Amino acid sequence: MRTYFPYTIFPLGDTALTVDFGNCIDQDLSAHVMGIFKYLQSHPLNGFIECVPAYSSLTVFYNPGVLKKEIRNNETISEIAREKIEEILENKSCALTSQFRTVKVPVCYNDALAPDIRHITREKKISKQELISIHSTPEYRVYMLGFLPGFAYMGEIVEKIRMPRKPTPQRVHAGSVGIAGNQTGIYPINSPGGWHIIGRTPIRLYEKKDNDNFSTFFQPGDIVQFYSISRDEFENY
C-alpha cells in the first residue's frame, strides 16, 4: 500500500502546471515524486512535452495547441491539463516501482583542491580524516538538478559537518564538491558559488556531445556514493 501525499496543483504560466507536495526535504516524498516522473516519462500523455522534478514538486510542461483540441464545454486548456495530471496522480500504477541507479563518485579531498576544508575542521573541531569519513560514508539521493546544467542537489549530509552558505559567492572550479546547509553537490562547470568546497572529482559532469547536444552525468533520483582518492589518482584519472 503506497503512502498518500497531499498535493496542490497550480499553473506556471500558460504552458505548465506544478504539482506541489509541500515545502520539505524527505526521501519518501522524493521517491514518490520520482515515481510519478518516471511514470510520465514511460507513459507520455498527448500534448505533454516534459516534466521536471524538484525536492517536493513536479512541474509538467504541455503544448496548449495540442490540448486545445480536447476542449469540452467551457473548460480551459489549463483545466484539461490538470485533469490529466490528477488522473495520473490517482493511478496506483505510478507508485514508485523503479530501481534507482547507484553512482560511485571519486573525490580528492587534498587541501589544494579543497580550499574550505581546513576552515570547516577548525569550525567543527574535527580532524580532516573525520570530515572525509563523515562526508563519504552515507549514500546521497539526487533530489533535483538545477542552478547550473547538471548541478545535482544531494542530501542529506550529517549534521556534524553542516555549514551555512558563504555570505559572498567565490569562483569555483568545475568538479568542486561543496556542502551548504544539509546538502552536498558538485559544480559541473567553472562558476561563482557560495558552497564550502571540501574536494574535487575528476569526473566530467557536463559534456558536449555530437550535434551540439550536451549530456549530464547525474539524473534525478540517482543514489550517490562518494569515495576518497589521492591527488595522484585525481591527476591520472
**What number does CATH give the domain 102-235?**
2.40.100.10
Return the C-alpha cell found at 185.
Answer: 553537490
Which phi and psi (to 5°) does residue 46 adopt? -60, 125
CA 203 to CA 188: how far, in whole Å?
Answer: 9
CA 90 to CA 2: how far, in whole Å?
Answer: 11
Extents of the domains making up the chain: 8-94, 102-235
**What number does CATH give the domain 8-94?**
3.30.1360.40
Contact between 61 and 85 (Cβ < 8 Å) = no
pLDDT tens, N- to C-terminus, the chain (237 residues): 456 788 999 999 899 999 998 887 777 888 888 888 888 888 888 889 988 888 888 999 999 999 988 888 888 999 999 998 898 888 755 555 556 789 999 999 999 999 999 999 999 999 999 999 999 999 999 988 988 888 999 988 999 999 999 999 999 999 999 999 999 999 999 999 999 999 999 999 988 776 667 788 998 889 999 999 999 999 999
Residues 6+ apart with CB under 8 A from 188: 148, 149, 150, 151, 174, 175, 205, 206, 216, 217
39-48 contacts, C-beta under 8 A, 24 or more apart: 39/88, 39/91, 39/93, 39/94, 40/88, 40/94, 43/88, 43/94, 45/84, 45/88, 47/81, 48/81, 48/84
Residues 6+ apart with CB under 8 A from 233: 106, 108
Write down the pTM of the prediction: 0.77
CA 143 to CA 66: how far, in whole Å?
Answer: 31
